[in-house]
Structure 1
Amino acid sequence: MNKLLQASLVATLMSAGSTALYAEGDTASRPSYNWGNCTSIGCEKDIPIKLEIPKKCEVLGGTAITLNKNGGTQSSNYTVRSNTHYTLNIQTANTGTSVSTYVKHEDDGSVRVPTTIVTNKTGGGVIPFGNSNHNGLADDQYSVSVTNAAVGAFQRAGTYNDTYKIKVYY
């Protein structure tokens, strides 16, 4: 009986070692969990939610301005639609950001007719040439008025041009 007990004990010890090997192999294939995220109230995790809207602007309107040889003021309106703050840059092709503007003869740039250009922002007053900062986030409406004196009887015939340039920067 003693031998039977010894054999049974040896068999038990041998099988215990083999199950330990199987148990280790089984847990090695399972993913490990980060139990450090668990607290006394249970587990928690934050999931970020994000929406990105790109900056965008449009310049709408702005019809051509035709001056009168008898002088006077002509105007055009435009709207800057922007979903962010912006810098408005206003220039003319002939003089850049100078307030001394003119239209020049298409064939001879030295033949000129002086003009005065004024830009007004609805609810914001006069906007200077060059850069000016604006809040955006709405339709900003602008009016451009161009004034010229009557031309003399001997003003060279032909077409005189300038271009009012609008640039929007973020």
Structure 2
Amino acid sequence: MKLFTQCVFTALVLGSGITTAFADDVSADLAKFSWSGCTTTEGCSLEIPIKLVVDKKCEVTGGGAIDLKSTGGSVSKDYTVTTNTPYILNISTANAGTKSSTFVKHNTDPSKTISTTITTSGPKGLLAWGNTNMVGSSSDKYTVTVANNAVSATQLAGTYTDTYKVNVSY
């Protein structure tokens, strides 16, 4: 019986020490918060802030290569800009930048060019080259249309290229 009493007494002493250490840890964590209204008649309350930060995000999808015909005509492709905030849409080409006089140029002889006409339409109708402020927080569909005249029989043979560029910034 003496051994049993000693075991119970040891368990109680060790258990109370662990409980005290645990209570000290919890007290330190709770001290970080602003307690208000702690009286014996009213009770206590605690306000714990909740926060979620949603970063700005954009996705540009769609598009695809635009293959013009030497017989002339126009080709269109759609792309979509999806954002969760207002944005600035910048459109340009590799050959002409933000100038409206666009062209494709020969891969091996850049002095040889063929004029093109590129238009972009979207939620605000026809867009100008360069920067356009957009409302955003949506999926905005754009259509780029590239047109060219029939190529003359004396035009240097080869591949002519340009790149339509879409840049989204906030």
The TM-score bracket by the shorter chain reads 0.7 to 0.9
* Per-residue deviation, 1:45: 3.5
What is the root-mean-square deviation in Å for CA atoms of aligned residues?
2.2
* Per-residue deviation, 1:81: 1.0
* Per-residue deviation, 1:84: 1.2
Q: Identity across aligned pairs (percent)? A: 50
Question: What amino acid maps onto 1:93 in structure 2?
Answer: A
* Per-residue deviation, 1:55: 1.1
* Per-residue deviation, 1:63: 1.2
State the TM-score, normalizing by the size of structure 1.
Answer: 0.74
Unaligned runs of at least 5 residues, structure 1: 1-29
**Following the alignment from structure 2 to structure 1, what is the Cα–Cα distance between the partners of residues 90 and 111?**
26
**Following the alignment from structure 1 to structure 2, what is the Cα–Cα distance between the partners of residues 69 and 103?**
12
**Following the alignment from structure 2 to structure 1, what is the Cα–Cα distance between the partners of residues 48 and 130?**
46
Equivalent residue runs for 1:1-170 within 5 Å: 37-38=36-37, 43-121=44-122, 123-170=123-170
* Per-residue deviation, 1:111: 0.4
State the TM-score, normalizing by the size of structure 2.
Answer: 0.74
**Following the alignment from structure 2 to structure 1, what is the Cα–Cα distance between the partners of residues 169 and 44?**
47
Unaligned runs of at least 5 residues, structure 2: 1-23
* Per-residue deviation, 1:130: 0.6
**Following the alignment from structure 2 to structure 1, what is the Cα–Cα distance between the partners of residues 124 and 164?**
20
